[in-house]
Amino acid sequence: MEIEHQEQIIIDLLAKLKNAEGGYPKKLLASRRQIYLKQIANMSLGMGAGTGLKNLAEGPKGGLTGLHLPAIPTSTFLEAVLVVAIVIEAGIVAYRYRDKIVEILTSAPTARAEEVVPIPITGSSQPEAATPSLTPTATPTPSPANTPTFTVTATDAQLLIQSTDASATATPIPQNDNGNHYGQTPKPDRTKVKNTPKPTKAKKDSAPTEIYDRP
């Protein structure tokens, strides 16, 4: 009982001690408050531009009380502003130079399938000459010294046209040919003459005698 009473006295003393405390010195408090306000201003400038706009719109001093802006991050807000500015600038430039743009668009070459530029034919004035004709000037002879020479009168372009016009013909399918040609190859004729005597072998002993027989 005595202990509880003494502890209660201590608690009462502590409560009085609380009320007897001195306050924050005015100069210290004022300077600390100024620093704090600067920190708030720096933070609002650096990080909270979007939020600051929102507060401005929602705050009683803002004058835009009826306007409710969503909470936009600063980076998104700046990005949107930049995109809008770029679009507006592009529109102004397009309007100012609209005549030049129309000229450029109309003068641009358009690819048409119907218009085929005729290829000029060089070397012959007649259209019949378009077909390539191979005129051999020399007939091939068995002598290897005379190589056959050909004169091509058509140009490469004509050949190209000719080759594109010509329809490709497939190789005819052989009849009754299953692909098995075993035993059908004709045997070659024998070139050796029969009953031709074989040359006799020279005797080993006769050779030195021939040497001695020479004059």
Partner 1 sequence: MNDGVALLKAAQKLDEDALTAIFDQFAPAIYKYTLRLCHDPIVADNIVGDVFAQLLEQFAAGKGPRTNLRSYLYQTAYHLVVDRSRDNQHNAPLDVAVGTYEKGQIAPTQTQIEERVMMEALIAAMNTELTEDQRHVIILRFLEDFSLKETAEIIGKEVNNIKVIQNRGIAKLRKALGMQLGDGW
Which range of residues in 3-11, 79-87, 149-157, 171-179 is near partner 1 by CB under 8 A?
Answer: 3-11
Contact predicate 132/112, CB 8 Å = no
The rounded distance, in Å, linking the Cα atoms of 147 and 136 is: 11
Cβ at position 92, least distance to partner 1 in Å? 37
Q: Under the phi-then-psi rule, with left for phi > 0, alpha for psi from -120 to 50, and beta for the rest, what region is 162?
A: alpha
Q: Which is nearer to partner 1, 59 or 136 (CB)?
A: 59
Q: Which is nearer to partner 1, 19 or 169 (CB)?
A: 19
Which of positions 10-49 make contact with partner 1 (CB under 8 A)? 10-11, 13-18, 20-25, 28-29, 32-33, 35-37, 39-41, 43-44, 47-48
Strand-pair partners of 126: none
**Collapsed DSSP state (helix, strand, coil) of residue 112:** coil
Cβ at position 56, least distance to partner 1 in Å? 10
Cβ at position 108, least distance to partner 1 in Å? 54
Find how far residue 161's CA is from the centre of its chain.
34
Question: According to CB under 8 A, which one of 1, 6, 106, 210 is a site residue for partner 1?
Answer: 6
Buried-state track 24-47, b at ≥16 Cβ within 10 A, e below 16:
eeeeeeeeeeeeeeeeeeeeeeee
The amino acid that residue 206 corresponds to is S
Tell me the per-residue interface mask from 52 to 91 with partner 1, x by CB under 8 A, - otherwise. x-xx---x-----------x--------------------
The rounded distance, in Å, linking the Cα atoms of 19 and 22 is: 9
Radius of gyration of the chain (CA): 56
Place of tokens 């109309």: 106
Backbone angles phi, psi at 65, to 5 degrees: -60, -35
Which range of residues in 51-59, 78-86, 150-158, 194-202 is near partner 1 by CB under 8 A?
Answer: 51-59
Cβ at position 20, least distance to partner 1 in Å? 5
Cβ at position 21, least distance to partner 1 in Å? 5
Q: Does 113 bind partner 1 (CB under 8 A)?
A: no
* Site residues for partner 1 per CB under 8 A: 3, 6-7, 9-11, 13-18, 20-25, 28-29, 32-33, 35-37, 39-41, 43-44, 47-48, 51-52, 54-55, 59, 71
